[in-house]
Amino acid sequence: MTSNETNPKSDPSLWQVTKSVFAAFLGVQSSSNYQRDFNYGKPSQYIIIGLIGVALFVLTIVAVVKLVLALATGK
């Protein structure tokens, strides 16, 4: 465990923010992480990581669709 995981009153690390955003995408989050995020997190971190996550998701969907279309048309 890192010092941030043992001391919930410190700012969340970049990894903890990323895990929280991913949990938000899935709609699951533990109560303790939820409280940590809202009490000690900076909104800008969550917004930036969230935008990066959405961009990666959209790019993945576009790539999969292009791949499927290419395989379907034989090009």
- DSSP annotation string for 17-62: HHHHHHHHHHT---HHHHHHHHHH--HHHHHHHHHHHHHHHHHHHH
- 55 φ, ψ to 5°? -60, -45
Q: Are 4 and 12 in contact (CB under 8 A)?
A: yes
Supply the angle between the helices 43-73 and 14-26 in degrees, to the nearest 10.
Answer: 60
pLDDT (0 to 100) of residue 5: 52
Which pTM does this prediction carry? 0.75
pLDDT (0 to 100) of residue 10: 79
Residue 61: pLDDT band with limits 50, 70, 90: very high
Average pLDDT, integer, range 36-48: 92
| pLDDT over 70 at 56, yes or no | yes
